């Protein structure tokens, strides 16, 4: 049983008035506390968050961990070396250090994942609010298009778009972002339709509030929970789709390190140098697992039924 401890009044500071928090601020602070408490009770979610923080921190501080020159510089004299004290994960078919390429590849893979989710989230939120709040013909047309998009397998749909746009990281981001956009649209639309029937929305309309004010002040803030859950869960799918497209040569182009392209390069060495496949494959698996675990924890923590 959780108890929210009432805060003592703040001690007045000389020269500054003693400000008492409003009821809304107290409620928001209590909701944050309860969310964090429920999230920390889920041990697997905390484990996923810790793993993800390590991966993100490694990507951010990649220049301090490894020099980029050994990532792109070929040295055929040390090609396909087994893991040793100098090359922790061994070397690839071109003599490049696999550990350094994994570290720098985390930057590329995470950039693709977060940029893709951002695009899908922004576009999906716009379309979802448009359909859920205004409805009518706009809702019918947009949702039928969304239904068509969702009938296609995500990987196949992304493959079609990136084939039309051409190779490259930003084309890959656009292709996967368009693929994930329908899922956000449906989630936001369903949430908006539920929120739009609340009494405080009717009260805001009766007070003369404009549609833009209602959308940005009441609708979108109350839709953030489902959007955050959808984003965290979708990140693992984005990692897998992006790696799959890079694996077949339609994503990030060499010599830029990326986990999917590293798997593609290692195919012909699977028998005599299995570490070349294991390192990027394990990185993809661990990152996807951490996103899934954390996404499940965020979903459970935001679930009102979990409140006690």
Q: Residue 140 pLDDT > 60, yes or no?
A: yes
- Are 298 and 46 in contact, with CB atoms under 8 Å apart? no
> Residue 1: its pLDDT value, please?
43
- The percentage of residues in the chain with a pLDDT greater than 90, rounded to a whole number, is 19
pLDDT band at residue 3, thresholds of 50, 70 and 90? very low
- Tell me the per-residue pLDDT of 271-288, one tens digit each, with 9 for 90 and over: 888 888 888 889 999 999
Element (H, E) at 19: none
Mean pLDDT of the chain: 82
SS3 91: strand
How many whole angstroms separate alpha carbon 168 and alpha carbon 246?
A: 9
5: alpha, beta or left? (left if phi > 0; alpha if psi -120 to 50): beta
pTM: 0.81
User: For residue 192, what are the contacts with CB-CB under 8 A and spacing of at least 6?
Assistant: 128, 129, 131, 132, 133, 219, 223
> Using one digit for the tens of pLDDT, what is the confidence trace for 9-67?
444 445 555 555 555 555 556 666 677 778 788 889 899 999 999 999 999 998 888 88
Residue 146 has pLDDT above 50, yes or no: yes
**For residue 295, what are the CA distances in angstroms to 115, 127, 161?**
17, 23, 27
The token pair at 73 is 């510089």
């Amino acid at each position: 049983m959780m108890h929210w401890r009432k805060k003592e009044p703040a001690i007045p500071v000389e020269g500054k008035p003693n400000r008492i928090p409003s009821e809304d601020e107290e409620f928001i602070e209590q909701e944050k506390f309860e969310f964090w408490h429920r999230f920390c009770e889920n041990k697997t979610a905390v484990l996923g968050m810790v793993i993800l923080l390590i991966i993100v921190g490694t990507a951010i501080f990649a220049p301090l961990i490894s020099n980029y020159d050994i990532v792109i510089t070929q040295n055929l004299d040390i090609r396909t070396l087994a893991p040793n004290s100098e090359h922790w994960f061994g070397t690839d078919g071109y003599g490049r250090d696999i550990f350094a390429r994994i570290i720098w590849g985390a930057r590329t893979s995470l950039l693709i994942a977060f940029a893709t989710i951002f695009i899908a989230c922004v576009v999906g939120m716009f379309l979802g609010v448009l359909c859920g709040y205004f409805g009518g013909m706009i809702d019918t047309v947009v949702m039928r298009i969304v239904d068509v998009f969702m009938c296609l397998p995500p990987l196949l749909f992304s493959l079609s778009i990136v084939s039309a746009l051409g190779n490259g990281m930003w084309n890959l981001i656009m292709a996967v972002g368009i693929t994930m956009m329908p899922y956000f649209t449906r989630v936001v639309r369903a949430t908006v339709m539920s929120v739009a029937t609340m009494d405080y929305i009717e009260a805001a309309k009766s007070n003369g509030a404009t549609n833009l004010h209602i959308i940005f002040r009441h609708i979108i803030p109350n839709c953030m929970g489902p959007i955050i859950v959808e984003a965290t869960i979708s990140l693992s799918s984005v990692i897998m789709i992006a790696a799959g497209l890079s694996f077949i040569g339609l994503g990030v182009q060499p010599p830029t390190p990326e986990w999917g392209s590293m798997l593609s390069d290692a195919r012909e060495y699977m028998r005599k140098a299995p570490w070349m496949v294991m390192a990027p494959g394990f990185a993809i698996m661990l990152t996807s697992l951490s996103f899934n675990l954390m996404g499940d924890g965020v979903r459970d923590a935001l679930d009102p039924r979990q409140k006690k």
